[in-house]
């Protein structure tokens, strides 16, 4: 399926979920994210927005347990990650996404677990995001890449380009 169509379909299905379904899914995904974070050094994680699976509860858990966590900020045509220690380190930025305004810049190659947003995904662990390619520019073989999704975002197959990076795993609610 052409990327733009996959993106539209995944976003529309995600937006159609009820608040109750979303809460149930998010609770399951939080448990799984915590499990994936065990033994991690530096974690990279997006700050959820709109109808994305919730990452705020996971980030809170990282703060409470002392996990080293970094979040992205759009800089030019890529993402720069900053280690943060609380939500007070964030403010609305590019596209209305909460971004770090305080925090220590980190080299993304130091991240060993990267939680990645997506708008749709396929059985080969390919994903679409929002069309800017920011995450593809920072995903490295040295990090475990983990997509966070709802089952409704699945599409059979996404047409890919050579620069598209498949994810190692995609977490889905159980």
> SS in 3 state form for 77-88?
CEEEEEEECCHH
Structure token digits, residue 57: 């509860």
Q: Is the pTM of this model over 0.85?
A: yes
Provide the number of structural domains found in the chain: 1
Per-residue model confidence as pLDDT tens digits over 99-144: 999 888 999 899 999 999 999 999 999 999 987 778 888 888 889 9
Closest CA to 45 of 132, 124, 102, 108: 108
Per-residue model confidence as pLDDT tens digits over 46-96: 999 989 999 999 999 999 999 999 999 988 888 999 999 999 999 998 778
- The residue range of the domain holding 95 is 3-171
d(CA 173, CA 137): 27
Q: What is the CATH number of the domain that holds 151?
A: 3.40.50.10420
């Amino acid at each position: 399926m052409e990327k733009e169509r996959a993106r539209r379909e995944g976003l529309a299905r995600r937006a159609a979920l009820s608040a109750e379904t979303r809460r149930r899914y998010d609770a399951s995904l939080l448990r799984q994210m915590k499990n994936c974070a065990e033994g991690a050094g530096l974690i990279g994680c997006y700050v959820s927005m709109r109808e994305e699976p919730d990452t705020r509860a996971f980030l809170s858990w990282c703060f409470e347990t002392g996990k080293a966590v970094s979040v992205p900020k759009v800089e030019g045509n890529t993402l720069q990650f900053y280690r943060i220690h609380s939500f007070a380190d964030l403010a609305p930025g590019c596209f209305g996404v909460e971004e770090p305004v305080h925090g220590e810049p980190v080299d993304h190659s130091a991240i060993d677990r990267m939680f990645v947003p997506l708008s749709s995904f396929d059985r080969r662990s390919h994903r679409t995001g929002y069309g800017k390619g920011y995450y593809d520019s920072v995903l490295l073989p040295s990090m475990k890449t983990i997509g966070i999704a709802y089952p409704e975002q699945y599409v059979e197959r996404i047409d890919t380009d050579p620069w598209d990076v498949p994810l190692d795993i995609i977490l889905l609610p159980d």
